[in-house]
Structure 1
Amino acid sequence: MGDGTTVTCTTAGTPYKTEFGKKDSPDCGARYSEPSTSRPGGSYHVTATSTWQVTWQVNGGGENGQIPLTRSNAVDVQIAEVQVLN
């Protein structure tokens, strides 16, 4: 996550809905404790990796197999802090 933490998700996650408010994700999420302006370069360097195991077979041919796939990408993200005064 760029802050020294790692999040491992075993599902696609739950799509966000406005009624969730500030609650933590029930199955796959992360929360930053400070804005990225406190980090060197002003951003968090985040890496996402997706791992798949594809199983295939040929109908009527009796051939089959498995193909492991791993894809990874990284991006620098800026996380801001918003404070509201009433």
Structure 2
Amino acid sequence: MQWRVAPPPGKEGGVDPAQLAAEAVKRLPIDGPDIGIVPEPGTTGVVGMPVWPWNRTSPRTWGPAAESVTAGGITVTATVSQIVWDMGDGHTVTCGAGTPCKESEGAKDYPICGYRYATTSNGGKGDVFRVTATATWNAHWAGRGQRGDLTTTRSSQVQLRVGEVQVLGQ
């Protein structure tokens, strides 16, 4: 054991800067994605037709978001690196914030992050697919002569009903 007159560099006040940064990340004003999606929840989509998911971006849903630990002199800034869309049918799509769908797009494929269901949501819990969007937030911290990076996630969910169109011929 070695006694020191002063704490080691970066340990002033007896608290590790990385621990302070982890606490600051917990307090960041961040949320899961603010989900925009077509077909809109409450309507029924159709098997084989494009689904357009996107994140309505803001500092809370895309970044940058910042938090300071005043007592520890640590500043943390976070931004989203990706969003993983669990489509509720066993498939995922990974992309960035996405692009809001315009009515004029019609049945066009989504240019960045689209999806097409191959089956209906009938038979699932509530006869819907639970679409979960999970944002990966990359947080960079600096203070007390040190710096580092941490990662955290936040999720949001919507429910989509998907049916099928049957054509009867004569």
Interval containing the TM-score (normalised by the shorter chain):
0.5 to 0.7
Residue in structure 2 matched with residue 4 of structure 1 by the alignment: 90
Using structure 2 for the length normalisation, give the TM-score: 0.39
Identity of aligned residues (%): 48
Superimposed CA distance per residue, residues 17-54 of structure 1 (whole angstroms, 9 cap, x where no aligned partner): 12211111111122223432x23331113332111211
Residue in structure 1 matched with residue 149 of structure 2 by the alignment: 66
Q: In structure 2, how many angstroms separate the alpha carbons of the residues matched to 1:4 and 1:16?
A: 24
User: 1:6 is aligned with what amino acid?
Assistant: T
Q: In structure 1, how many angstroms separate the alpha carbons of the residues matched to 2:160 and 2:145?
A: 48
Q: In structure 1, how many angstroms separate the alpha carbons of the residues matched to 2:160 and 2:98?
A: 20
The secondary structure found in structure 1 opposite 2:92 is coil
- Relative distance call for 1:74 and 1:18 in structure 2 (3 A) is closer
The secondary structure found in structure 2 opposite 1:25 is coil
The secondary structure found in structure 1 opposite 2:94 is coil
Using structure 1 for the length normalisation, give the TM-score: 0.67
Which is greater in Rg? 2
The alignment yields a C-alpha RMSD, in angstroms, of 2.5
Residue in structure 1 matched with residue 123 of structure 2 by the alignment: 39
Q: Cα distance, 1:74 vs. partner?
A: 4.4
Q: In structure 1, how many angstroms separate the alpha carbons of the residues matched to 2:134 and 2:119?
A: 24
User: 2:105 is aligned with what amino acid?
Assistant: F
Superimposed CA distance per residue, residues 48-84 of structure 1 (whole angstroms, 9 cap, x where no aligned partner): 21112111334xx53322121112344543234578x
The secondary structure found in structure 1 opposite 2:104 is helix
Whether 1:14 and 2:92 are equivalent positions in the alignment is no
Q: In structure 2, how many angstroms separate the alpha carbons of the residues matched to 1:51 and 1:34?
A: 28
The structure whose residues are more often strand, as a share, is 2
